[in-house]
């Protein structure tokens, strides 16, 4: 499967990386002279000067430089699209159409093409051409307002929720469209937005709200409103995550810590002054995090330590996943032996595969030299 990845920054390239890790041939199409801006974002590899963020988002891909503002550059992309399975782009709505490279134009050249647009706010509506970043999208979706403790200010999540979920939904949409093409022989346009992906994270909360239930920061069953599903500080200032939501897990926890008097209090409000909550806060402060880990070892109570990222990477359960390849995180998906995965663990240098890809279209060394001189590639 060949994918033309015209996207920049984080969400689109992450989507392309997911497809590459699943075995697709992904060609990253970049502007000559500079390429994706993330190439220069630190931290940098001290030996190559390559941005490590760029590497983790683009490893396993090929790089083709192409000036899409030039007529010949657009012509080359059109020819590549004729033989491609997927085109992925993350420009603002209307940009590709103004270049003559919109879905309708490319579908006429290749009716089997899957054309994926990953936008900020969607291709319609008043915000379609508006600039934005992850924090804006989760703010407008209502996700940010629900993040943080009850009575406190909203808290910025520890991960880029809109960017990551947007990449995932785009990849899912592409794979779904490819499956449909297997049945119909016809491609289609796929669109995912970072605003919509943020809202999709709130499916449970939206359902509750539309059913007439109150939804507020830090008060839900899964957002810190219940004693059985909460964070508790330990004697050394660290934290434990208690998620004994089901009856059997809560009973097991109460039994293990010798507090069966709380056995019927699992859904008590996690509010200061509430006896069950105050009792648990005091209980967890009697031991260090490691002491709690040891005390609850073997107990099915859904109680685990809150680890710093460095601790998490070194932990036995994370190590067992085999996701760390060299100095980069990899895919959580494992394919059966013999199924092709990414062939390269490094990201391509800018334009590294340009000559080889153009050779497939019939361009010789002299042609490529002319295109370079003209600023086309």
Q: Which residues contact 344 (CB under 8 A, 6 or more apart)?
A: 59, 60
Residues near 159 by Cβ (< 8 Å), separated by ≥ 6?
none
| Tokens standing for residue 250 | 């809560």
What the block records as the tokens of 109 is 């050249």
Extract the tokens encoding 308: 């710093």
- Report d(CA 13, CA 87) in Å as an integer: 12
Query: If you count them, how many residues does the chain have?
Result: 377
Nearest Cα to 173, choosing from 225, 120, 219, 117? 117
Report whether 374 contacts 71 (CB < 8 A). no
3 state SS of 137: helix
Annotation says 163 is catalytic: yes
Catalytic residue among 134, 163, 205, 278: 163
User: Whole-angstrom Cα distance, residue 141 to residue 158?
Assistant: 17
Would you please indicate which residues are annotated as catalytic (active-site) residues?
A: 163
């Amino acid at each position: 499967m060949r994918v033309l990845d015209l996207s920049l920054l984080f969400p689109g390239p992450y989507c392309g990386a997911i497809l590459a890790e699943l075995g697709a041939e992904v060609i990253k199409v970049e502007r000559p002279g500079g390429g994706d801006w993330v190439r220069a974002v630190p931290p940098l590899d001290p030996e190559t000067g390559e941005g490590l963020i760029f590497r983790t988002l683009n490893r396993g891909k090929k790089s083709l430089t192409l000036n899409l503002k030039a007529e010949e550059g657009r012509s080359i992309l059109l020819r590549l699209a004729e033989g491609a399975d997927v085109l992925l782009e993350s420009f603002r709505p209307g940009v590709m159409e103004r270049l003559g490279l919109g879905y309708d134009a490319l579908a006429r050249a290749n009716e089997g093409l899957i054309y994926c647009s990953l936008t900020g706010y969607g291709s319609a509506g008043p915000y379609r051409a508006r600039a934005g970043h992850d924090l804006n999208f989760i703010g407008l979706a209502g996700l940010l307002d629900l993040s943080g403790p009850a009575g406190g200010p909203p808290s910025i999540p520890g991960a880029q929720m809109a960017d990551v979920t947007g990449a995932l939904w785009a990849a899912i949409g592409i794979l779904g469209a490819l499956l449909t093409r297997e049945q119909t022989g016809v491609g289609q346009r796929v669109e995912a937005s970072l605003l919509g992906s943020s809202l999709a994270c709130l499916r449970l909360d939206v359902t509750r709200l539309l059913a007439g239930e109150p939804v507020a920061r830090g008060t839900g069953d899964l957002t810190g409103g219940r004693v059985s599903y909460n964070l508790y500080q330990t004697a050394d200032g660290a934290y434990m995550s208690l998620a004994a939501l089901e009856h059997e897990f809560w009973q097991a926890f109460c039994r293990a810590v010798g507090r069966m008097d709380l056995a019927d209090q699992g859904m008590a409000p996690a509010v200061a002054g509430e006896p069950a909550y105050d009792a648990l806060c005091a209980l967890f402060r009697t031991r260090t995090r490691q002491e709690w880990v040891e005390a609850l070892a073997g107990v099915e109570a859904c109680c685990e330590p809150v680890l710093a990222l460095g601790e998490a990477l070194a932990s036995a359960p994370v190590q067992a996943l085999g996701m760390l390849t060299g100095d980069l995180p990899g895919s959580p998906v494992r394919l059966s032996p013999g199924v092709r995965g990414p062939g390269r663990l490094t990201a391509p240098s800018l334009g590294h595969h340009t000559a080889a890809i153009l050779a497939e279209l019939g361009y010789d060394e002299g042609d490529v030299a002319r295109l370079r001189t003209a600023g086309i590639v």
